[in-house]
A = this chain, B = another copy of it.
Amino acid sequence: MGTERLLSRNEKVFRKGVSASSIYRLETGCIRTCANSSNGRRLIIAFYFPGDYFGLELHEKHLVSAEAVISSKVLVIPAKSLAARAATDLTLAKHMLAITNAELRRAQNHNLLLRNSANERVANFLFDMKQRNGRKDVALFMSRQDIADHLSLTIETVSRALTKLKKKSAISRVTRRHVTVHLRKRLAA
């Protein structure tokens, strides 16, 4: 069920404010969801990887925009009044509950992230990337600016944190889009 859609780098999947008529499952690539803070800064709410669902809002309109970080393939699942259908369809309700719960978990995890120091935010972010990636060699599809906007830091601070972690051998082989993450008691800064 659903139709596939290919997106090129930086292309929008959907825009904040438009009515939410589908949900999405990422097949390949990487997606980011964005909003704007009161002071005009870009906020990256979450990154999604293959297998993740995104775009589910139990709301009339999307509260965030979604964009492709790199060329990506998404499965678009039309969902006319999902909430209404879930009222009578047990399977759908269960599915939506699972997706909402995964999203809640991500939000709670991000909450904890944002309460740490800059070094810890970067370290925990990399650790999270490693976990979701499954291997210690992590392909970072996103730019330093993306990371900064996700962690609510500046690009300079992210860069300095990476340098520190590298010096402590908590990470290695750091390039623009790659990093090898070593465990070392959760990279504590």
Question: What is A's interface to B at a CB cutoff of 8 Å?
Answer: 35, 37-38, 43, 45, 58, 63, 86-88, 90, 93-94, 96-97, 100-101, 103-104, 107-108, 110-112, 114-116, 120, 152, 186, 188
Contacts and interface: CB of A to CB of B under 8 A. Distances in A.
A101 B111 CA distance: 16
Q: Which 3 A-B pairs have the closest CB atoms?
A: A107-B107, A93-B93, A114-B114
Contacts of A101: 58, 100
Given A100-B97, A101-B100, A116 B86 contact: no
Number of copies: 2
Given A116-B37, A120-B38, A107 B111 contact: yes
B111 A104 contact: no
A117 B69 CA distance: 28
6 contacts: A37-B115, A43-B115, A90-B90, A97-B97, A107-B107, A111-B114
A57 to B, nearest CB: 9
A115 B152 contact: yes
Contact of A94 (B35, B43, B87): B87
